[in-house]
Every structure is written in C-alpha cells, then in structure tokens.
Amino acid sequence: MCPGSDQRIIHRKAFIYTFVSVIKTPIQLTTRALKPINLYLIMNRQLVSSGTKWEILYGYSRAVKAGNIIAVAGTTAVDDAGNIVGENDFYAQAVFIYQKIEKALQQLGASLNNVIRLRIFITDMSRHQEVLEAQGEFFANIRPAATIVEINALIDDRLLVEIEADAVVE
C-alpha cells in the first residue's frame, strides 16, 4: 500500500474492485474506481516501491514480481531524497542504477544473478563505453541478454542513463 493513501478492497466472488485515493493537495482528494481485477492476479503479485512521488502520481512500481518473473522498471540515478547522482557522469549514473536495481531485486528475494535481460537507454551513444564498463563490473559472470539504445532525452536533462531489468527466480 502506498504511504498516505487509503485503500479499500471489496471482494465479489473471484473478482475485486479496488478504490484508491489519489493525493493531489490537502484540499483536492479524489477517488477513482478501477475495473474489476482477477483476484488470482493480485494475490500472486508483489510490488516494490522506492517511495518516489511519481509512483503514486503515475501508477507504477519500482519492481513487480508475478510468479517467478521480476520486472524492474526503468531506473535512473535519482536517490531516495530526489537528488540526481553523478551529474554529467555516465559511469557514476550506471553504477548507482545497478545498485538500485540490485536493492529492488533483493526486496523480492532475488539478486543480480537472476537477471536475464537488460535494456539500457543513454542520451549520448559516444559515451556508451562508460556505461558498458559499469555493466561489466556487475554482470561479467552473469552475462544477461542486453540492449543499449540512444535516446534524445530522459525526463530530466541531468539524467543520462536509464536501465530496465528482467529476472527469473527458481
């Protein structure tokens, strides 16, 4: 459950309706009703939150475990206080991101050893070597499938790297 939100679940046979209060301001509090969701899917799903405001506002999780599959959302070099780590440093941002991914995996009972796929997005392909050097430090013996793609920009111009990871646990 997200901090500061009120969540009520009403059971109806094999389906549930979830009502989530979305905090806008102390004055503006809205409640949205979601469509019925299969109870089996909810009960076999674990969510990890990093506690950022964006997860609550935009409806996503840092990581999701469904069955034996873990998906870690696009991760950037933003610390718990909302500060950007490694400004203008592709290598430092990649190292921080891999540490953040590792923490999310550990919260779901996994480790970097379980990673089978990486998707790396960078804002300047001429700096790819710095990002791949960091990747090698974490994954030299694991060797997941990986893709690196140049993109025009991330959500903040100071962010240079974003990485997604998929993992499978036994």
pLDDT tens for the 170 residues of the chain, in order: 444 444 333 333 333 333 333 334 444 444 455 545 545 555 578 999 887 777 888 889 999 999 999 999 999 999 988 899 999 999 999 999 999 999 999 999 999 999 999 999 999 999 999 999 999 999 999 999 999 999 999 999 999 999 999 999 98
| Beta-strand runs (E) in 2-158 | 7-12, 15-23, 29-33, 37-38, 45-48, 63-66, 69-75, 115-122, 145-150
What pLDDT does residue 56 have?
83
pTM, full prediction: 0.75
Start and end residues for every CATH 3.30.1330.40 domain found in the chain = 46-168
Between 3.90.1210.10, 3.30.1330.40, 3.30.460.80, 3.30.450.20, what CATH number should domain 46-168 receive?
3.30.1330.40
